Chain A
Amino acid sequence: MSTVAVTGLNATDNPAPGVAVARALKDADPATRVVGLAYDLLDPGNYAPAWFDDVFLVPYPSQGSDVLRSRLTEILDAVRIDAVLPNLDSELPAFVALEGWLHERGVGTFLPTRQQFDLRSKLHLADLGERAGLPVPETVVLSEPAELYTLHEKLSYPLVIKGVFYGAAVCHSLEDALHAYHDVLAKWGAPVLAQRVIRGKEIDVCAVGDGAGGLLGAVPMRKTLLTDKGKGWAGVAVKDPEALAMTERFMDASDWRGPCEVELIRDEDGKTWLLEINPRFPAWCYMTAAAGANLPWLAARAAMGDTIAPERGFTPGTMFVRISIDQIARLDDYEALATTGSLVDRAHRFQGEDR
């Protein structure tokens, strides 16, 4: 039986991937013990005992890797962890910095290097596109709001204003852009980017790279239902040789190690553009397990040191529809997390009780 730690338990209306990853691991092997590393008392995944055997609060990434290391030391005194799968962009640099230490403590990882992480940052995506032979929509890095006044000389409206980590807004006018600029800046800091809008169909690829230029597994997906915020709420696995080929080119150019999401868009002329590389699993990654290519499990096994043969088969037409339900949470779980910062061995604590 193996134990895998998973982060990103904030499964809200814009969900982080943690719950999906945990569910995929349980699917592959129900004996797997999944340890949730949560950032907030009310992260919904904390209250999903079917997928998380233990939950520990961990410090925010902005507190630095030193603080994370001391918290992980406490956690490792309480439970054994064979591998950790971080699922948020903002925490990756800290986990990457701690990789050597984690390995010494017997915790396996399957992460990109810091260079790979920086390479796919939105700041440097154009360079990466050039290196990999993938077209990237024109992007302007904005260093001050005044640049918005001359932006129309480089990009025409509508355009997208993006934060360097998260956040994106389609803007139709200078007023929109100014508003979005300050909004993104306040949330995610400088710099802010402006990108040409490409109209077309999005294709998202959930992929795992082997760290040596190869692709271990990949499932392309088309969104079939969007929320009013433009987030995918339903989708279907599709056969898309071009999307897979582009994903392979990215792997080859970057030697990417670990999971990622390649966001592509195919315009009305049939040209496919690279929009973004997210350095972690997408929130819809459970679907890969249902499609016969359980990519979270594959990454977990790689992190535990197994030699992994590429698993390139999957079933096109596998569909997902997200569903919002009200999970009943236990006040004593909440109390335990609030007072001790941990919920250890929940299954054992409530043995015999109706869960």
Chain B
Amino acid sequence: MTRRPYERPIIVRHESGLGNKLSRVPALRPQEEIDGVSVEELVKTYGSPLFVFSEQTLVQRQRALADAFAVRWPKVRTAWSYKTNYLDGICRVLHREGAWAEVVSEMELDKALHNGVRPDHIHFNGPFKPESALEKAFRGGTLVHLDNFDELRRAEQVATRLGKRPGVAIRLSVAAEGIPPWTRFGFHLESGQARDAVRRLLAGDKLDLVGLHCHLGTFLLDPAAYREAAGKLAAFAEELRTEHGIRLQFIDIGGGFASHNALKAQYLPAEQATPSFEQYADAVCDGLRALQGPPKELPTLVLETGRAIVDDAGYLITTVHATRRLPDGRRGVVLDAGVNVLFTAWWYRHDVVPTRHLAGIPEPTVLYGPLCMNIDVVRDALPLPPVEAGDRLVLRNVGAYNVTQWMQFITLRPAVVMVGRNGQHGLLRKPETLEALTSWEEVPEWI
């Protein structure tokens, strides 16, 4: 008698509400390759865990965004949000596609310049711009978005000292229904603070107001919020034109478009919940329709989309290190990547797929990271057939924020690679080494 293939023995109790997880539904289609390059080859070459970025997806998302807006508004500019992912390789692909840079610190400003971005093709946001940063920005013609009254005054002083009259934008905080207000940034529109800022700027007569900026929030699933915000910006721009004769060069609607990820408190899956770029573009451009004036004087629409471009392009390959049974019956799986490199696991229910067909009955499974920390959980209660040590899992849509917010904690950070369009692949960032880490450390001589 021929022996049948072996599977880990499993018994699962039928429980109301869980019954369906037992149905023979192939919920976990394996992903064996990324853009034609096998996951195994990538791991053999660069090790595990490993962040992999698809150049093709990155380019497709960037073009899809630009195209969706270009057919609805005459002048559109995208500015790559550096904080979302400022690996040089990622930034350069997007700059090659025509994106300007959007930075929120002097370090990011330097990084954009290092990537060859023209200083006057950079939007400079954020609540913290010291004098040295303002000076660097004004010298090169970088577009500074003013955040508060102290910064306005500081900007005037720097401009006077340099003998320049820079064009600046002001950041507005705008209320939109259903969106938690981000009132800690910018000048409040509804309270009248924004009008005060404009009056103050005009009275100072040292800076030219050339743009308005607002950023509603992050992962906003309802495009209607953008219609409302864009409408308010447009109405304010009209007020500036009619009352003060100001002709704005640009209106910057910020970022916040959702990627194909799923928030933990989200019921519908991403493919059904995430609006398309077209839906966002419809909403924004509808709102901007309140702008009057001759068409050729219409301001440029600036987009600082980050997550919705790069998230879908990023993968994290991870390897199963061990499996265990938890007292409540769930299966625990220890991976070689945890919240140290996957910061976004706090907020998102990341899509996890195996790289081979997993036979057997799915059991409720918790995915743990490698840290000796109770909070290191990548997914809880994921229905997963049994996996074995050495199996690979691929986490998808992890390209945003992780490789900027990750922590060097307990272990070293892994390599980041890009897969190109013809099956070529190369490093974006080397894996960290102990030497690199300790090279920054000193030991005082008396120790």
Please say whether the chains A and B touch (CB closer than 8 A). Answer: yes
What DSSP secondary structure best describes chain B's contact surface? loop
Q: Which residues of B contact A61 (CB under 8 A)?
A: 268-269
Given A42-B16, A70-B26, A189-B265, A123 and B271 contact (CB-CB distance below 8 Å): no
Flag if A67 contacts B27 (CB, 8 Å): yes
Flag if B269 contacts A63 (CB, 8 Å): yes
Of all chain B residues, which has the CB nearest A65? B271
Give 1 or 0 for each of A20-49: 1 = CB within 8 Å of chain B CB.
000000000000000000011110000000
Give 1 or 0 for each of A62-91: 1 = CB within 8 Å of chain B CB.
111111001100100000000000000010
Q: Which residues of A contact B263 (CB under 8 A)?
A: 189
Given A42-B16, A141-B178, A144-B180, A66 and B271 contact (CB-CB distance below 8 Å): yes
For the complex formed, measure the closest distance between the CB of A227 and the CB atoms of chain B, giving whole angstroms.
21
Given A40-B20, A41-B20, A59 and B268 contact (CB-CB distance below 8 Å): no
Interface size bucket, B side? 20 to 34
Q: Which residues from 129 to 146 on chain A have a C-beta closer than 8 Å to any C-beta of chain B?
A: 140-144
Of all chain A residues, which has the CB nearest B266? A189
* CB of A93 within 8 Å of the partner chain: yes
Given A39-B20, A57-B23, A141-B177, A338 and B14 contact (CB-CB distance below 8 Å): yes
Flag if A93 contacts B272 (CB, 8 Å): yes
Given A41-B20, A57-B20, A97-B271, A341 and B266 contact (CB-CB distance below 8 Å): no
Q: Which residues of B contact A70 (CB under 8 A)?
A: 25-26, 29
For the complex formed, measure the closest distance between the CB of B224 and the CB atoms of chain A, giving whole angstroms.
7
For the complex formed, measure the closest distance between the CB of A231 and the CB atoms of chain B, giving whole angstroms.
20
For the complex formed, measure the closest distance between the CB of B54 and the CB atoms of chain A, giving whole angstroms.
19
Q: Which residues from 79 to 116 on chain A have a C-beta closer than 8 Å to any C-beta of chain B?
A: 90, 93-94, 97
Q: Which residues of A contact B177 (CB under 8 A)?
A: 140-141, 143
Give 1 or 0 for each of B22-50: 1 = CB within 8 Å of chain A CB.
11111101000000000000000000000
Flag if B25 contacts A93 (CB, 8 Å): no
For the complex formed, measure the closest distance between the CB of B358 and the CB atoms of chain A, giving whole angstroms.
15
* CB of A170 within 8 Å of the partner chain: no
* CB of A124 within 8 Å of the partner chain: yes
Total A-B pairs, Cβ < 8 A: 91
Q: Which residues of A contact B270 (CB under 8 A)?
A: 64
Give 1 or 0 for each of A148-172: 1 = CB within 8 Å of chain B CB.
0000000000000000010000000
* The one of B14, B25, B222 that contacts A67, using a Cβ cutoff of 8 Å: B25
* The one of A64, A65, A123 that contacts B178, using a Cβ cutoff of 8 Å: A123
* The one of B17, B25, B267, B271 that contacts A40, using a Cβ cutoff of 8 Å: B17
Given A42-B16, A124-B224, A64 and B24 contact (CB-CB distance below 8 Å): no
Flag if B16 contacts A64 (CB, 8 Å): no
Of all chain B residues, which has the CB nearest A90? B267
Of all chain B residues, which has the CB nearest A93? B272
Flag if B268 contacts A93 (CB, 8 Å): yes
Of all chain A residues, which has the CB nearest B264? A189
* The one of A90, A144, A185 that contacts B268, using a Cβ cutoff of 8 Å: A90
Give 1 or 0 for each of B215-248: 1 = CB within 8 Å of chain A CB.
0000000101000000000000000000000000
Flag if B267 contacts A64 (CB, 8 Å): no
For the complex formed, measure the closest distance between the CB of B254 and the CB atoms of chain A, giving whole angstroms.
17
What CA separation (Å) do A67 and B28 show in the bound complex? 8
Flag if B224 contacts A341 (CB, 8 Å): no
Q: Which residues of A contact B271 (CB under 8 A)?
A: 64-66, 97
Q: Which residues of B contact A191 (CB under 8 A)?
A: 178, 222
What CA separation (Å) do A61 and B181 show in the bound complex? 31
What CA separation (Å) do A127 and B253 show in the bound complex? 23
Flag if B19 contacts A40 (CB, 8 Å): yes
Given A143-B180, A191-B178, A62 and B268 contact (CB-CB distance below 8 Å): yes
Of all chain B residues, which has the CB nearest A186? B265
Flag if B267 contacts A189 (CB, 8 Å): yes
* CB of B375 within 8 Å of the partner chain: no
For the complex formed, measure the closest distance between the CB of A124 and the CB atoms of chain B, giving whole angstroms.
7
* CB of A188 within 8 Å of the partner chain: yes
Flag if B25 contacts A185 (CB, 8 Å): no
Given A40-B16, A185-B265, A340 and B26 contact (CB-CB distance below 8 Å): no
* CB of B179 within 8 Å of the partner chain: yes
What CA separation (Å) do A67 and B29 show in the bound complex? 9
Flag if B178 contacts A97 (CB, 8 Å): no
Q: Which residues of A contact B20 (CB under 8 A)?
A: 39-41, 57-60
What CA separation (Å) do A341 and B21 show in the bound complex? 10
Flag if B24 contacts A340 (CB, 8 Å): yes
Give 1 or 0 for each of A181-211: 1 = CB within 8 Å of chain B CB.
0000100111100000000000000000000
Q: Which residues of B contact A66 (CB under 8 A)?
A: 29, 271
By CB atoms of chain A within 10 A, which of B16, B266, B268 has the most?
A: B268
Q: Which residues of A contact B19 (CB under 8 A)?
A: 40-42, 57, 337-338
For the complex formed, measure the closest distance between the CB of A82 and the CB atoms of chain B, giving whole angstroms.
23
Q: Which residues of A contact B23 (CB under 8 A)?
A: 57-59, 71, 341
* The one of A41, A74, A190 that contacts B265, using a Cβ cutoff of 8 Å: A190
Closest 4 CB pairs of A and B: A41-B19, A341-B23, A141-B178, A57-B23
* 24 residue pairs from A and B, CB less than 8 Å apart: A39-B20, A40-B16, A40-B19, A41-B14, A41-B16, A41-B20, A57-B19, A57-B20, A59-B20, A61-B268, A63-B25, A64-B270, A64-B271, A66-B29, A71-B23, A93-B272, A94-B272, A140-B177, A142-B178, A143-B181, A165-B267, A189-B263, A189-B267, A337-B19
